A and B are shown apart, each in its own frame.
Chain A
Amino acid sequence: MQEIFLFLLAGVRKKILRFKKHRKMKDILTVYYLEAKSARVGGRKVAWITSGGPVEPLIAMNIIPVYPENHGAMIGASKMGAGLCELSESMGYSSDLCSYARSDIACATVNGGPIGGLPRPDMLVCCNNICGTVLKWYEVQARYFNAPLFIFDTPFCHTGFGEEVRRYVRRQLDEYVSFLEKTCDRKMDGGRLAGVGKLSLEAQRLWQAVLDTTVNRPAPMCAFDAFFHLALIVTLRGTQEAVDYYRRLLERMNDRVARGVGAVADEKYRLLWDNIPVWHRTRWLSEKFASHSACLVADTYTSAWCGSMKYIDENNFFDSMAEAYTRIYLNIGVDEMARTVLAMIDKYKVDGMVMHSNRSCKPYSLGQYDIAKIVERERGIPSLIIEADMVDERSFSESQVSTRIDAFMEMIKASR
Chain B
Amino acid sequence: MITAGIDIGSISTKATVLSDGKLLGTRLIFTGYNAEAAGRAVFEELLKELGLERSAIRRVISTGYGRNSVKFVDKAVTEITCHGAGAHYLDPLVRSIIDIGGQDSKAIVIDGKGKVKNFAMNDKCAAGTGRFLEVMARALEVDLEVFGNLSLRAGNPSKISSLCTVFAESEVISLISKGESRENIIAGIHESIAARVAAMANRVGMIPPLVMTGGVAKNAGVVKALEKKLGFSILVSGYAQVNGAIGAAVLAMNIK
Which residues from B are CB-within-8-Å of A397? 124
CA distance A411 to B82 in the complex (A): 11
**CB of B173 within 8 A of chain A?**
no
Question: B61 to nearest A CB, angstroms?
Answer: 12
Would A407 and B104 be within 8 Å (CB), given that A387-B123, A400-B121, A400-B124 are in contact? no
B93 in the interface (beta carbon within 8 A): no
- Chain B 112-130, CB-CB to A under 8 Å as 1, else 0, gives 0001111111011000000
Q: Please determine whether B116 and A410 come into contact, CB atoms closer than 8 angstroms.
A: yes
Chain A interface size, as a band, is 10 to 19
Known contacts A399-B65, A414-B115: A406-B124 contact under CB 8 Å: no
Instruction: Write the chain B residue with the least CB distance to A412.
Output: B116
B256 at the binding interface (Cβ < 8 Å): no
Q: From B65, B119, B124, B203, give the contact of A407 (CB < 8 A).
A: B119
How distant is the Cα of A414 from the Cα of B121 in the complex, in angstroms? 19
Contact A414 B65 (CB under 8 A): no
Whether A148 is near chain B, meaning CB under 8 Å from some CB there, is: no
Cβ of B203 and Cβ of A406 under 8 Å apart? no
Pick from B15-23, B73-81, B142-150 the stretch touching chain A. Answer: B73-81
Q: Which of A376, A400, A403 contacts B79 (CB 8 A)?
A: A403
Instruction: Say yes or no: B124 contacts A404, CB within 8 Å.
Output: no
Shortest beta-carbon distance from B124 to chain A in Å: 4
State how many angstroms separate the Cβ of A143 from the closest Cβ of chain B: 34
CA distance A400 to B121 in the complex (A): 9
CA A410 to CA B77, docked complex, whole Å: 8
- A369-412: CB near B (< 8 Å → 1, else 0) gives 10000001000001001010000000001011001101100110
Among B65, B81, B120, the residue within 8 A (CB) of A411 is B81
Q: Which chain A residues lie closer than 8 Å to B118 at the CB level?
A: 376, 382, 411
Q: Is A159 an interface residue (CB 8 A)?
A: no
In the bound assembly, the distance between CA atoms of A397 and B119 in angstroms comes to 18
On chain B, the residues within 8 Å of A369 by CB distance are 203
**A414 with B81: CB separation less than 8 A:** yes
Residues of A within 8 A of B120 (CB): 385
Residue in A376, A382, A403, A404 whose beta carbon sits within 8 Å of that of B65 in the complex: A403
Query: In the complex the two chains form, is B123's CB within 8 Å of A414's CB?
Result: no
- Since A387-B124, A400-B121, A410-B78 are in contact, a sample of 15 more A-B pairs with Cβ atoms closer than 8 Å, ordered by chain A residue number, is A376-B118, A387-B123, A399-B65, A400-B104, A400-B124, A403-B65, A403-B80, A403-B121, A406-B78, A407-B78, A410-B77, A410-B81, A410-B116, A414-B116, A415-B115
The chain B residues found within 8 Å of chain A, CB to CB, are: 65, 77-81, 104, 115-121, 123-124, 203
What would be 29 A-B contacts, judged by CB atoms less than 8 Å apart?
Answer: A369-B203, A376-B118, A382-B118, A385-B120, A387-B123, A399-B65, A400-B104, A400-B121, A400-B124, A403-B78, A403-B80, A403-B121, A406-B78, A407-B78, A407-B79, A407-B80, A407-B116, A410-B77, A410-B80, A410-B116, A411-B80, A411-B115, A411-B116, A411-B117, A411-B118, A411-B119, A414-B81, A414-B115, A415-B115
